[in-house]
Structure 1
Amino acid sequence: MSGNSNSLIKYPDAKIEDYENEGYEVDTAKTDLTDSSRFDIDDTKDQIFSVYLKHKTTTITNKKTVQQKISYEYDDGSKAAADNIQKLTFINQIVKDEVTGKTTNSWTPVNKTVFSEVESPKVEGYDAAQTTVPETTGINQDSSNADYIVKYSPRDEQAVIRFIDNLTGNVISEKQLSGKFGTTSSYKLADEIALIENQGYFVKSSNLPENGVVFNQDGQPLIYTVNLLPIEIIPESPSNPDPDSDTSTKTGSDLDTNEKTKLQQNEYPKVTAVKMDNLKDEVKQIIELVETKQKVVDEAVSYVHFIDQDTNKIVKTDVLPKQNGFYPIKVVAATIEKYGYQLQNNWNGIYSNSKGTQKNVNVYVAKKARSQKNAKLPIENKQGRDDFSFRDNTSENHNGLLNQFFSSAGSAVDVNHTLIPKVGGGGAGTGHEVAKILAVLAYSVNFSRR
């Protein structure tokens, strides 16, 4: 190139562009020719400039991720805990020589080349098949993704049912239940009723769940209690006086069933021969009671008492005749409910008294607060007389049965509206009125099916 002294040297752009097209680029760090270079003023020598060219390169960066996934599942495949995911990233730089066309690769990890050890999460009531997934080393860009599944199985859990004598507080027996965590036991207290009764008890209360015991307490046995009351069988001879009874003003004809029971159990003193004219009224009454005692003993040998479990008062007493029989416990229970009481045990009513050895039976009842308003049967006035009538939605079925035996052309039997006269009838009407009375009695004690 030539030019005037001190003038700018024209940079050889066209020539440089030719080299760039071949894949070169100017190495400006070594090249001494620049856009500001000028011709010198020395005509005796030529100036020499050097333009250094280097191979141009192109770099392409690629990324690759290798993953390890741990899933936690129950036996049925549902998720027990959140997945654990670890990712390792590797970068590859691809360098291409634009002159020669050759390429070079260089893989490097971004963070590390190890999947760390993972401890399986704790799930209440379940055990993991693997407590840990071990560490994995030597992971690189060519490693495959890893998937693990850790299964969780329910633990065996326990439940204890304690049967407690409610009067003494003693544990009579215990029942052990077992099952997998989260499951429900098929045990039902009703299945134990027969065994409980065989041991002389009935269930007063229980905190057992109505829908079954659910094993939902991890590592700790569930404790339930069933409170029992004894089905008391009272011997005929030992005395058990009722301090609330008052017999000082009653004669033998006025005795209630409780007093008769006490007479039978020898709870009143015997009186030796004395002169009746000199006795005070109280002594006369005692003698009348003693005389009544012998009559009661001859008529019956055993009783069934219905006792209020909260007050220990006898609310109803019936005689068990000297025979082997069946006491209509369900019918009496229904009658008791009309007076606001509910039976608290499941005595089946069977008794054996042909030899006069049946012991008195105590059956407990409890007051139903919501039944107070129905405690008394309704009283109606008809034809100037006070009459009592049973009202029962199911009585119509009984009417049909009773009318087969007790009816007249002018008046059919209706157990809901039968008039019971206070005094006996007369003439031809007597038989029909008695038939009505018998019909009502038969319905009320459920003897109509016999």
Structure 2
Amino acid sequence: NLVTGHIDYRPWTTTDDTFDAVTSPVIKGYTADKLVVPAVSGVKAGDADRVEIVTYVKDAQKAIIKYVNEKGNVELSRDAVAGKSGEAIDYSTVAKISSYKRQGYELVNDGFTNSVNKNFDFDASVDQEFVVTLRERIEPIDPDKPTPTPDKPVDPNDPDTPKWPDPVKDIVNKETVTRTIHYVYEDGSKAKDDVTETLYFKRFAYVNLVTGHVEYRQWTSNDRTFDSVLTPTIKGYTADKNMIPAVTGVEPTAPDIEETVTYVKDAQKAIIKYVNEKGNVELSRDEVLGKSGDAINYSTATKISSYKRQGYELVSDGFTSASNKNFDFDTAFDQEFTV
């Protein structure tokens, strides 16, 4: 009313008196406490404004840390860590890796620690996985160094060191093969000092510190040949072997070799001559056969008696008076004794 200023209202009209239902938008990694804000119909002009709050709660998440053996990609163990979307994964691989090192493994890759993002993701449908890769530690055993002792630490200075497995006590990474040549007389007594030659073999062993399995490389040697050895001479004796032949291509598994050279006494001859002092004419001679060094089995008594009966007299008995009545050791010349 333009005179009085009174305002008179007609009833409210609207083309829409309904708030439509609203589906809550999806935020990955979160769950809304209201999936839908419901419709409101019959809204009147005097009604108060409405405020609806949809709260998003972080989804529960799970991260799995797998420890696998590089050999065959075999899973050794796994740890599961629970948390919420986007939060830091509260986990450390240090203790478990140390444990595996003490069991003989070595680290290839720590897929958790090396991960750029160590937070839970926003996908609740699939668990996150981190892989820590380990390998069975293979330790070489140098044949030129002492063989390790079972149950002793591999590296005493490393707190995470494993211990040597029991099979190391049976490691064979050094071998010798010896040839001994004995020199004896026929009675078995020693004729010369033994000649000994030894060949040395070695190989690397590789020990799996997890399984204890020992693997060997090929045998090596600077010399696989026993040289030929000439038999030394002993005057008055003949050896049954003039030489011990060489042996080539000796294997480390070959047994030790023993060779025996036997010295046999040479055949010898002694001549006992009976001579007339007058003109030094030989009256007769006797030949006695024997072996080097043996006693000459002979007596001049009978023959001297015979000559005495024939009218001779003894001037000297070069055999009986000889200080050594044994065969000598020279086969080139016969021994001679003069009566």
TM normalised by structure 1 equals 0.39
Corresponding residue SS for 2:280: coil
Higher Rg: 2
Q: 2: CA distance between counterparts of 1:166 and 1:188?
A: 21
Among candidates 140, 150, 153, match of residue 264 of structure 2: 153
One-letter code of the match for 1:105? Y
Aligned length: 197
One-letter code of the match for 2:330? D
Q: Looking at secondary structure, tell me which structure has more strand per residue.
A: 2
Among candidates 144, 152, 163, match of residue 274 of structure 2: 163
Q: 1: CA distance between counterparts of 2:224 and 2:324?
A: 53
Q: Is the 8 A contact 1:162 1:225 kept in 2?
A: yes
Q: 1: CA distance between counterparts of 2:96 and 2:265?
A: 82
Deviations 1:389-422 (A, max 9, x none): xxxxxxxxxxxxxxxxxxxxxxxxxxxxxxxxxx
In the TM superposition, what is the alpha-carbon distance from 1:181 to its structure 2 partner?
A: 0.6
Q: Is the 8 A contact 2:270 2:296 kept in 1?
A: no
Among candidates 137, 146, 159, match of residue 248 of structure 2: 137
Give yes or no for the alignment of 1:195 onto 2:195.
Answer: no
Among candidates 170, 180, 193, match of residue 82 of structure 1: 193
Give yes or no for the alignment of 1:214 onto 2:326.
Answer: yes
Counterparts of 1:11-410 in structure 2, within 5 Å, are 14=95, 16-25=97-106, 55-60=136-141, 61=143, 62-99=173-210, 101-210=212-321, 213-219=325-331, 220-226=333-339
Q: 1: CA distance between counterparts of 2:263 and 2:329?
A: 17
Q: Is the 8 A contact 2:105 2:136 kept in 1?
A: yes
Q: Is the 8 A contact 1:72 1:79 kept in 2?
A: yes
Q: Is the 8 A contact 2:288 2:297 kept in 1?
A: no
* Pair 88,212 (structure 1): closer, same or farther in 2 beyond 3 Å: closer
Q: Is the 8 A contact 1:186 1:212 kept in 2?
A: no
Question: What is the Cα-based RMSD across aligned positions, in Å?
Answer: 3.1
Q: Give the number of the structure with larger relative contact order, counting CA–CA contacts within 8 Å between residues 6 or more apart.
A: 2
Q: Is the 8 A contact 1:73 1:151 kept in 2?
A: yes
Q: Structure 2: where are the runs of 5+ without partners?
A: 1-91, 111-131, 144-172
Q: 1: CA distance between counterparts of 2:314 and 2:265?
A: 33
TM normalised by structure 2 equals 0.51
Q: 2: CA distance between counterparts of 1:213 and 1:18?
A: 88
Q: Looking at secondary structure, tell me which structure has more helix per residue.
A: 1
In the TM superposition, what is the alpha-carbon distance from 1:110 to its structure 2 partner?
A: 3.2
Q: 2: CA distance between counterparts of 1:172 and 1:93?
A: 82
Deviations 1:76-102 (A, max 9, x none): 111121122221122132201335654
Q: Structure 1: where are the runs of 5+ without partners?
A: 1-10, 32-50, 227-450
The residue that corresponds to 2:58 in the other structure is: none
